[in-house]
Structures are given as structure tokens and as C-alpha cells.
Chain A
Amino acid sequence: MKEKIEELKKLTEVEIANCKSLTDLESFRIKYLARKGSIAELFDTLKNVSPEERPVVGKALNELRSNTQRLFDERKVLLEMSVNVETKIVDLTLPGRRRWIGSLHPITQTLNEIKNIFFRMGFDVVFGPEIEDDYHNFEALNFPPDHPARDMQDTFFISENVLLRTHTSPVQIRVMETQKPPVRVIVPGRVYRNEAISARSYCLFHQVEGLYIDEGVTFSELKGTLVAFAKQFYSSSIKFRFRPSFFPFTEPSAEMDITCFLCSGKGCRVCKQSGWLEILGCGMVDPNVYKFVGYDSEKLSGYAFGMGIERITMLRYGIDDIRILFDNDVRFLKQF
């Protein structure tokens, strides 16, 4: 019995070296390791061995089996690694074993960059409800009832006094209602407009609102903050301009333009030949707003600004149809 084991051990060591292909290897496995292979046969004869010898022989048989298995495994790895053991050539042009890669939506990526710039300037982030009441969305922002300014934003109504917020500005009011000055926050979020869906407008989009209220805040500082933002976000070489505009909740109000980065200010289709791109609206918080939230407009001053993330994202990546952003074609998403 012991001799047989020894003999088999030598035999397997010789034969394994002769296995030149996976087919050879499979024959080897069937010959020695399969359920009806030589080693299994030896196990079957174990019952004929005397009880005293049985543990020793059993141990030797077990060793033989694990040794043969090891020889087989090692040879298998070697054969699989190369197509041809003789020449040891591995086809290195085979593609790597890849996994699916995910992506963040371009709107999320733009928003993250905007947030990070304002975080560095000491702004906190806050959120508010999308289903909003008339008071926060309009009245407390100095849009009196029956005022034509309300026409500037087409609104979805849920009831007479409840609506889908048309901008993130109501969160300004909610922050001031619950927080004592100074306030320095940005508010990202989804807003809705009751406008027909087209290449240029969608029924909803995302905004980032900013608000800073403290003692001694000036228009000059508003300009500085937003210019610093634009230089970080777009390019340090951009030129900018602020021009007067109108928002009921700020005064003075302004719109900020930067030189069109698509045509370097020479005029193109995207900037409507003007050389300028409008990127955000801003202004000094109107004293009427302070009245609604119980802030002292004599002691405090501050600024607010807001920008549309879709617009910025589209400008940035050269996307000319807003619907692409909400279409979520994975071939589009995987580009980001």
C-alpha cells in the first residue's frame, strides 16, 4: 500500500510536467483526481488495511491527494496565464477587465463647484420647501398682490395661496425668520415655471440663491464677491459688467454679465452678438423685506443673488437644448 502511494506520487510529478495544454491537464485530472481516479481507488482499498495501520496510511493518502491537487492547480494557473506555454507569449492587447463607471449628473457637478467656491468664502448651505406659500414666494419678497412684477414669473398654483416656488428666494425669508443676523448662506434647489417646454425652457430648473446680511455690507462688496466667484468658476481672465435691473426684493438691483467665452466677446449666436453672457441677478436686499422678517433696516444691510444652474451648465458644456439635461440618455450621462 505504502509503495503504491509512493509510486503514484512519482508518477503524478512526472506526468504533470508533460501537460502542455488545458486538455492534457483535464486528462490528468480524470486519471488521478476524479471520483473514479487512481487516488479515489486507493481510498476505496483503505478498508482492507489493518486497523492499526489505517491512520498512518490514511494520512499518507490524504497527503498524496492534496499534493496532486496542488500540482494540478499550479499547472492550471500557468497554462491559463499564457496561451502557449512553450513560447510563453501573453496577448497583452487583450482588453483590461473593466467595470461600469458611474457618473454624477452635469447639473450636480456644476452645483458642487458653485457650492465649493461659496463654502470657501464662508457661506453655509440651507434648503427650503418646493411647495411654498404665496407669502414666502411673493409677498414677503415685496411682490405686492396685484403687482405687475408677479407676471415676471409664470406660476403653478396648487391652491389660491399655495404654489410651486418660482425661485429659491423664499428661503431667504425662511432663514431670516429663524436666524439672527449675520446671515451668510447659499440655497440650492429646484424651482418651477409654468412655461411651455422647448429647447430654451423647461417646466422646472435649479437655482442657487445667495444671501449675506450684516452691518455695513455694501454694493461694492456684492460686486467683489460675485466677481471673485466668476473668476474662480469661469476663468481669472474674464471681463465683467453689472447693469441695472429690477427685482422686487432688491434695490439697487443688477444683472451680471461676463464676456462670452465662446467668442471671446466678439459676438456669436449664443450671446446674441452682444459679446456678453448674463450669468446672474443680484442686488442689495430691499428694506421692505427686512420689515417682513423683523430685521432692523437702519442697522443692517446686505445683498442677495441668484443664478440658474441649467443655464450655466449649458453654457459650460455647449449644450444647446435644455431638454437634453432631463432626458437622461446614458450615452449623455456617461460623458460627465
Chain B
Amino acid sequence: MKISLNWLNQYVKINLPPDKLAVKLTNAGLEVESIEYLGEKYKNFVIGKVLGVPKHPNADKLTVCDVDIVAQNLKIVCGAPNVAVGQHVVVGLVGATIPKNQHDPEGKPFTLTKAKIRGVESNGMICSEYELDIGEDKDGIYILGNDTQIGQAFADFLGLNDVVFEVGITPNRPDCLSHIGIAREVAALLKKQLMVPSIKFKEDKELVSKNASVVIKDSNNCPRYSARVIKNIKIGPSPKWLQNRLSAVGIRPINNVVDVTNYVLMETGHPLHAFDYDKLESHTIIVRTASDGEYFTTLDEKGRELKENTLLICDAEKPVAIAGVMGGLNSEISESTQNILIESAYFNPSNIRRSSKYIGLNTNASQRFERGADPNITVYALDRCTQLISKIAGGKILKGVLDVYPKKFKPVKIKVRLSKVNSILGTNLSSEEVKSLLGRIGIQLKNILKKKDKDSVLLYEVPTFRPDIEREIDVIEEVARLYGYDRIETKTTSYIKFSSQTPKIEFNDELRQWLAGRGFNEVITNSLLSQEVASLTSENVVILKNPLSREMNAMRTSLIPSMLEIVRNNINRQEKNLNLFEIGRVYFSVDETEMSTLVTGYSEEERLILVKCGQSDFLNWSVHERKSDIFDIKGVIEDIFLKILLDKYKFIPYHATKALVDSAISIEIQNIEVGYLGKINDEILKKYSIEQDVYVAELSVDRLKQLYQSDKKYKSLPTFPSVIRDLAFVVEANISFAELSETIKSLGGGLVKSVELFDLYTGNQIDKNKKSFAFTIKFLSEEKTLTDEEVEVVIEKIINGMNSKHGAEIRK
């Protein structure tokens, strides 16, 4: 909200520079987001009088004007054809920044310096409307009336000698949505007196009650409605001071009546509305709720279909306003308006909020009503408005106020325990200190219920302009705020009870660290994507009701799509060798009868995705290029399992049923599928415009967490040395590594500790339909040192067994 410093000064005398005041307000919870010095633009511009216009000695079209600006007389070279003796003009002094340069095609501003023009010194510039950025006229200088004051700063002449604060008001403080509200806070902070305008005006003899009536049909939603009638007013533009006030806080002046209602709104915080009295059928106001589908045209000329429960202000026949939100076109103040009815009401905050949400209109009025206005200020605001209108627009004020207020709002009384104040804040305040702090913002001590030093119990009364204060804790907050958060001790010791579950290094963090060490870069990607893409990997997609765009209207069901976008973007930037991973969630809708989840009907799963594409390794001068393939990814997965002590895993190749990958391998641990790996299929790559192979693995972190062994146990090291032998077998091409290594292990009778493949060969040296596997086999006994003969016996057994089982020939 915009707050004008000049305006504020009307209610409290501020003796601080603007920036210091801003700090005070911010520290009291009224955050000043920016300070605007309105006059800044016209610094160094003053009003001057032209005393003489002698011709320039070296140029026909120029004059060397003699200009009186009171402080001194200036010689200014001027080229305007309309300059003449006696004129009051606007002078830009040396150092002034001319807002718009006439000689620049874009009108860029420039700063005046003392300059010689054709040999004559010029000490400033007489400006045109265009140069001052107040009009379009470039043809001559801007001439003011002769009643203007010579020597006056041009900013002051325009009423721009103000400072405007942008204050962020939190939703709990409707009382601060006005200048008096802020002034009350300032007065409390600076320990000054708050001065609220007193009201005096003369009423006519004619009774308002004979001329209009108010009926509230829904007192729940409209607890109070006050109104006055003024007759024979004259609609016209507002005086300058009023227009300046409104412009400063960002409100466009319209006409004197509307401007005054806005002025009083910004002054007191209470929204008012003026109706054209003669357009109110039977001069009657009826407050009722709308019926479903009722139609109404608001001031902004938009037709709106209403919902049941929308509160309406009506005359005897028709609606004339949506209560607390906006008036109607049918009863608007126009140039021909002569008589007006001014409304000052109090509406139920949630009703106004619902109306405003439903209609989609957020106005100055609705904003205040939905946060909670003060029901007891209606007549004050009404009278303030009446006073100003009669002063500015004339007219006669009918006698009396129509004030329907069936059930009065009384100030809330709250019991405050001094011990609670101090135990929540960690302070040691006395009841006297508390009383004096609260008194500054009008929270009065009504009674001392128990007087006992630190255990005193006090009864406070809270004025109705603070609807946010209802409970003891709310009062405690005010105490803290006014005392100052910075004065509350910053206690650096704490009494801690030991936690039951000391934090271990999280599984995820361990995994992340390990992958980074293994050369993978972690990414964090958007979990929102299009429904179309999300559906590729699951039928149970979670869809947003109010997405930002169609590209982000669903939750991801796999980490692959968002990763592919990252891959694509990097490849486009010539980063083609990628090792990436992400740990993130995927989301599904689930059948609530089949699966119970924290939030019924929805489940979330944490997953790990690994991606590799481009070169398999960092190239150097002694290593040759090799493209990544599926075994690079598979190797990483195997190493992860080794790292987290999961050894009962299986890789099961299957025909790609997963929509996104080819050559897929399912990964199972203890017969539970924990994920899969494969190559992204070509159609998907094409969709993402990726022109190189991408290998991927996606694993369920949640399942790995359940399965892995977090308790590491030491295994005793072998006592006896191991024997290592290399054996190569030639087999038919359709026999797999897994089959052969299984056979070797089982034939080894417990002496074979490991079987590693160190070469795989197909080619000229062997039959066309065959391949050769070369294994390194490690033999080890836990009971004794193996002799060569014992190893030979086992090898013989393996060679024979491999031959009979797989037709494998030993390769010499």
C-alpha cells in the first residue's frame, strides 16, 4: 500500500528523515518495500520571470533572456519563438535533468551543464511542455499564469514535494490499510500524539428519515449499515490538493464526490460508496443476498452472473451494488447527479471474500472488508465524508444518520497472564511495562484480576479496529512487537532432550556422494510436465486443476522425460558427453481401496535415474575413443549394489514393454523389481530431437532402502593364498556369459571364488558361428594352501564339464 508522508504528517508530527522512518516501520512489522521521492524528477527546476529578451549577438533566431528566479538573475540563451518579457516560465537550472530531449528521436533525458551557445554563456534552460514531460507541445516554451510565485520550486508548484512509501501490509493488519492506521503506529513508535480530524458541519432541517430508508434482510452478513443523504450538490473536478493526495497514493481522480469517498477510504481505511439518490427506486436501500444466476452490471461496465449468498445492496426494485466489492452502473454518480446517498457499512469478512473470489474482482473496498473493517467507525467515516463533500461540492446535508446496527460489536476483553508473556518471550517484563506498551496502540488495561508480581493476571480491552487480536497470544505478540524484537535476549544456550533417533547419514546422501565421485553430475529437474508425456510411463497420472500451462499440467510418473530435456539442452550447447543423475520423486494416483497412503488416493515414490551418452570416458592422449553403451550403465549399477552390500541381484533381459527404452534389462533383488535399464528408444529420441544414443537406468530408491543392509559386518580375510588361472573357451554364439560362469562356479565345488571375463573374441581365428570367452578364475580354499595338482584336478573337471554341458572347447 502507498503511504504519503505529507498526508501522514496531518495526523502525527514526524521529526525523522524518510529513510529513518522507514526503518522504524519495518522493524515494527510494517515492511517498507520502497521509498519514492516524488519531487526528484523536478529537482533544480524553478519558476522564473522573463525580464528582458535581447537578441543573441551571433544568431538571429536566438535571444539571451534575462530571467529572475528571486535568488538571482540568470542569462539564458533561448530559441523559442514565443518567449516575451513578463512571462512566468519554468527554468531548468544547471544540474537539472531535462526529462525529455526535443532534439533526440527517442526523447532521452539529458543533464544541463553551463554551456556557451554561439559564444554566449547560458546558465540554464527555459523549458517546453514536452521537455518537462507534462505535455506534447514542443513548439514553444511552457508559459505559466502570472499568479504563480516566482522562485518557487516547480515540484512544489505541481504538488510533488511528497515522499511515498510502499508498505507491505500483512493480511492480519487491516487497521494499517489507511493513513490514520499507519499514523497510529508511528505515534506509538515515536511516542507522539495521534491527531484524528475533528468533524463539524451544519445539517439542514429536512430529516433524512423522511427522505430515505434502510432495511437489512441479512444481518449476519451485514451487521451494520449507515447512510446519509446530501442534496443539491454540484459535481465537478476536485480541488488540486485533493487530486494531489490521491495521485500520490496511486488513485486516479474522477470527480469531487467519488474522490472524497476515496480520500476518506485512504484516510480512515473504511470503504464508502456514493449512490445517485434519484436513481434509487423509492429512495430505499435493501441489503439482501442474491439468488443463483442473478445478473448485474458493475461500475466497470461488465455484466456479472451472481451466485447465491452474494450480498447485494438493492433499492426497492433492483440491485445497485455488490456489497463491499463494487457499485453498479445503474446508480453511478454522473455529471448530472444532484442528490446523493452515501453508504458506510460493515460486512462479514468471509462473505465479501467469497463474493470477490467468485466474481474475480479484488478492489480497495473488498480488500479491507475481507480482512476485517471496524464496525464502530462507520458513522465517523460517513461524517468525515459528508463534511468534505459539503465543503467541496456544496449541497445541504439532511438531518440525521440512517444507522441500522441491530447487534453491537463490543471491544474484546482478554485475560493476560504476565507469567505467560515472559515465558513465551523469554523476557522479564513487569505489568507496568506491559501496560505502557499496550496503551500506546489503544489496548487498555481494564482490570487487574490478580496482583501478585510475576504471576499477575491482567484484563485488557482491545479496540474494534484490531480484529486480529482475540487471544492472549495475540496480545503477547503486540507486547513483543512494541518492546522490540531486537531487545529480546538472543539466548545461545538451550536445554535439549536427547533425540530418540540420531540422524544417520541418509541413504540418499550416501548415494549422491558416491555417484558424484564416480563422475556423475547431479541435476534437479521440474516435476511438472504435460499429461501426454506423463501418460507414456503410467496410466495413473496425477493432473493439476489449475496448471500454469498445458506443458505443465501433470505430475511426472518417470524421471526419464525431464532428464531427456536436460540431455537435449546440453547437446544443443555442444555438451555431448554426459554422465547425469537425479534423485527425485514420481507421483501416481492410486485406488484408495487397494493402497493406503498418507494422502488418500495418491502415492509418491523416490527414484534414482542415471544417464550416460557420448564418449564412455574422458579422452586422453593414450586412450582411444569408445562410445558409451548399455554395459557402462550396467557396470555402475553393479558397483552401486556392491557398495550398498546388495549381492542377490538379477538382471533379466526382456523385450521392451516399457514405452521409453529398447534392449531393456529388468533389475530384481530377492525377486522384487527395483528398476530397469536400457537404451532410450529411437522414436522418443526423435521426439526430443536427440541425435545420439542415450543409455539410462531408473531405480526405486524407496525399494533399495528397504532391501539394502545398513549394518555392515566385517568378514574375516582368507588365511591361505589363492591360485589364479586363465582359461579360454570357444562356444556356439548363442551361449551366454551368465550360463558359462554359472557352470564354472558350480563345477568348482566351492573352490572357485570368482570368475571374471577378461576377453570376448569373435573373428578370423575361430569358427564363424562361435565366440571365445577368456576367464580369469580365482581358486581358494578356506582350509589349506592349494597345490598345483589340486588346482589342475579342478581345472580338468571344469574343462570336461564345460565341454559336455555347453560343447565348449578349450582354446590354446
* A, B bound: yes
Query: Could you list which residues of chain A lie within 8 angstroms of chain B, going by C-beta atoms?
Result: 94-95, 97-105, 107-108, 112, 119, 121-125, 128-133, 145-149, 151-152, 156-159, 162, 164, 174, 182, 184, 190, 192, 194, 196-197, 203-204, 214, 216, 218-221, 223-225, 227-228, 241-246, 251-254, 272, 284, 286-287, 301, 325-331, 333-334
Given A184-B496, A219-B424, A329-B575: A243 and B27 interface contact (C-beta under 8 Å): yes
**CB of A213, distance to nearest CB on chain B (Å):** 11
The listed residue with most A CB atoms (<10 A of its CB), out of B423, B426, B498, is B426
Q: Residue of B at shortest CB range from A156?
A: B544
6 A-B residue contacts at CB 8 Å?
A129-B598, A214-B497, A224-B492, A252-B481, A252-B485, A329-B573
Provide the bound-state CA to CA distance between A204 and B526, in Å: 8
Given A105-B522, A122-B496: A131 and B618 interface contact (C-beta under 8 Å): no
Q: Which residues of A contact B525 (CB under 8 A)?
A: 326, 328
**CB of A190, distance to nearest CB on chain B (Å):** 7
Interface 9-residue window, one of B109-117, B339-347, B469-477, B709-717:
B469-477
Given A156-B546, A218-B491, A251-B474: A244 and B573 interface contact (C-beta under 8 Å): no
Asked if residues A129 and B526 are in contact (CB atoms below 8 Å), the reply is no
Q: Which residues of B contact A129 (CB under 8 A)?
A: 597-599, 602, 604
Provide the bound-state CA to CA distance between A124 and B426, in Å: 25
B499, CB-defined interface residue at 8 Å:
yes
Q: Which of B157-177 contact A (CB under 8 A)?
A: 170-173
**CB of B456, distance to nearest CB on chain A (Å):** 18
Q: Which residues of B contact A103 (CB under 8 A)?
A: 516, 521-522
Given A122-B499, A329-B569: A246 and B490 interface contact (C-beta under 8 Å): no
Given A156-B544, A158-B543, A333-B521: A327 and B569 interface contact (C-beta under 8 Å): yes
Asked if residues B489 and A105 are in contact (CB atoms below 8 Å), the reply is no
Asked if residues A102 and B516 are in contact (CB atoms below 8 Å), the reply is yes
Neighbour of A328 across the interface among B27, B427, B496, B523, CB < 8 A:
B523
Query: Given known contacts A149-B171, A221-B494, what 18 new A-B pairs fall within 8 Å (CB)?
Result: A95-B620, A102-B518, A102-B579, A103-B522, A107-B524, A123-B499, A125-B506, A130-B527, A158-B602, A194-B546, A218-B491, A244-B485, A251-B477, A252-B424, A252-B485, A284-B473, A330-B575, A333-B523
Asked if residues B172 and A97 are in contact (CB atoms below 8 Å), the reply is no
Asked if residues A227 and B492 are in contact (CB atoms below 8 Å), the reply is yes
Provide the bound-state CA to CA distance between A219 and B525, in Å: 37
Asked if residues B172 and A149 are in contact (CB atoms below 8 Å), the reply is yes
The listed residue with most A CB atoms (<10 A of its CB), out of B34, B493, B496, is B496
Q: Residue of B at shortest CB range from A182?
A: B497
Given A252-B480, A328-B566, A330-B575: A223 and B622 interface contact (C-beta under 8 Å): no
Q: Which of B543-574 contact A (CB under 8 A)?
A: 543-548, 552, 555, 566, 569-570, 573
**CB of B37, distance to nearest CB on chain A (Å):** 13
Asked if residues A224 and B524 are in contact (CB atoms below 8 Å), the reply is no
Query: Could you list which residues of chain B lie within 8 angstroms of chain A, going by C-beta atoms?
Result: 26-29, 31, 33-34, 170-173, 349-350, 353-354, 370-371, 423-427, 471, 473-474, 476-477, 480-481, 485-486, 488-499, 501-503, 506, 509, 512-513, 515-528, 542-548, 552, 555, 566, 569-570, 573, 575, 577-580, 585, 587, 597-602, 604, 617-618, 620-623
Q: Which residues of B contact A162 (CB under 8 A)?
A: 599, 601-602
Ranked nearest first, the 6 interchain pairs of A and B with the lowest CB-CB distance are A220-B426, A244-B29, A218-B426, A246-B170, A102-B516, A100-B519
Q: Which residues of A contact B350 (CB under 8 A)?
A: 145-146
Q: Which residues of B contact A253 (CB under 8 A)?
A: 477
Provide the bound-state CA to CA distance between A159 and B425, in Å: 40
Q: Which residues of A contact B617 (CB under 8 A)?
A: 99-100
Provide the bound-state CA to CA distance between A323 and B741, in Å: 50
Interface of B, secondary structure class, is loop
Asked if residues B602 and A131 are in contact (CB atoms below 8 Å), the reply is yes
Asked if residues B542 and A158 are in contact (CB atoms below 8 Å), the reply is yes
Provide the bound-state CA to CA distance between A3 and B26, in Å: 104
Q: Which residues of A contact B524 (CB under 8 A)?
A: 105, 107-108, 325-326, 328
**CB of B431, distance to nearest CB on chain A (Å):** 19
Provide the bound-state CA to CA distance between A225 and B491, in Å: 8
Q: Residue of A at shortest CB range from B496?
A: A122
Provide the bound-state CA to CA distance between A253 and B691, in Å: 54
Asked if residues A146 and B546 are in contact (CB atoms below 8 Å), the reply is no
Provide the bound-state CA to CA distance between A149 and B618, in Å: 54
Q: Which residues of A contact B620 (CB under 8 A)?
A: 95, 97-98
Q: Which residues of B contact A334 (CB under 8 A)?
A: 521
Asked if residues A224 and B173 are in contact (CB atoms below 8 Å), the reply is no
Neighbour of A151 across the interface among B171, B474, B599, CB < 8 A:
B171
Asked if residues B548 and A197 are in contact (CB atoms below 8 Å), the reply is yes
Query: What's the A-B contact tally at a CB cutoff of 8 Å?
Result: 240
Q: Which residues of B contact A174 (CB under 8 A)?
A: 598
Q: Which residues of A contact B598 (CB under 8 A)?
A: 128-129, 174
Provide the bound-state CA to CA distance between A241 and B33, in Å: 16
Provide the bound-state CA to CA distance between A274 and B425, in Å: 28
Q: Which residues of A contact B485 (CB under 8 A)?
A: 223, 241-244, 252, 254
Q: Residue of A at shortest CB range from B528?
A: A203
Asked if residues A203 and B552 are in contact (CB atoms below 8 Å), the reply is yes
**CB of A105, distance to nearest CB on chain B (Å):** 4
**CB of A120, distance to nearest CB on chain B (Å):** 10
Q: Which residues of A contact B580 (CB under 8 A)?
A: 328, 330
Provide the bound-state CA to CA distance between A190 and B391, in Å: 58
Q: Which residues of B contact A182 (CB under 8 A)?
A: 497
Neighbour of A94 across the interface among B371, B542, B621, CB < 8 A:
B621
Q: Which residues of B contact A287 (CB under 8 A)?
A: 471, 473
Q: Which residues of B contact A197 (CB under 8 A)?
A: 548
Q: Which residues of A contact B587 (CB under 8 A)?
A: 130-131
Asked if residues B503 and A133 are in contact (CB atoms below 8 Å), the reply is no
Provide the bound-state CA to CA distance between A317 and B552, in Å: 29
Asked if residues A244 and B480 are in contact (CB atoms below 8 Å), the reply is yes
Given A220-B426, A220-B488: A101 and B519 interface contact (C-beta under 8 Å): yes
Asked if residues A98 and B493 are in contact (CB atoms below 8 Å), the reply is no
**CB of B1, distance to nearest CB on chain A (Å):** 14
**CB of A283, distance to nearest CB on chain B (Å):** 9
Asked if residues B29 and A243 are in contact (CB atoms below 8 Å), the reply is yes
Neighbour of B618 across the interface among A100, A164, A219, CB < 8 A:
A100
**CB of B490, distance to nearest CB on chain A (Å):** 4
Q: Which residues of B contact A128 (CB under 8 A)?
A: 598
Asked if residues B172 and A104 are in contact (CB atoms below 8 Å), the reply is no
The listed residue with most B CB atoms (<10 A of its CB), out of A123, A148, A203, A284, is A148
Asked if residues B599 and A157 are in contact (CB atoms below 8 Å), the reply is no
Q: Which residues of A contact B523 (CB under 8 A)?
A: 105, 328, 333
Q: Which residues of A contact B597 (CB under 8 A)?
A: 129
Q: Which residues of A contact B570 (CB under 8 A)?
A: 328-330
Asked if residues A100 and B579 are in contact (CB atoms below 8 Å), the reply is yes
**CB of B166, distance to nearest CB on chain A (Å):** 11
Q: Residue of A at shortest CB range from B30?
A: A244
Q: Residue of A at shortest CB range from B604?
A: A129
Asked if residues A98 and B618 are in contact (CB atoms below 8 Å), the reply is yes
The listed residue with most B CB atoms (<10 A of its CB), out of A122, A146, A244, A246, is A244
Provide the bound-state CA to CA distance between A131 and B555, in Å: 10
Q: Which residues of A contact B353 (CB under 8 A)?
A: 146-148
Q: Which residues of B contact A94 (CB under 8 A)?
A: 621
Given A94-B621, A301-B423: A223 and B491 interface contact (C-beta under 8 Å): yes
Q: Which residues of A contact B497 (CB under 8 A)?
A: 182, 184, 214
Asked if residues B490 and A227 are in contact (CB atoms below 8 Å), the reply is yes
Neighbour of B604 across the interface among A97, A122, A131, A219, CB < 8 A:
A131
Provide the bound-state CA to CA distance between A102 and B636, in Å: 14
Given A100-B579, A156-B544, A331-B575: A242 and B599 interface contact (C-beta under 8 Å): no
**CB of A196, distance to nearest CB on chain B (Å):** 7
Provide the bound-state CA to CA distance between A286 and B518, in Å: 47
**CB of B40, distance to nearest CB on chain A (Å):** 14
Q: Residue of B at shortest CB range from A132?
A: B599
Neighbour of A221 across the interface among B426, B547, B601, CB < 8 A:
B426
**CB of A209, distance to nearest CB on chain B (Å):** 15
**CB of A202, distance to nearest CB on chain B (Å):** 8
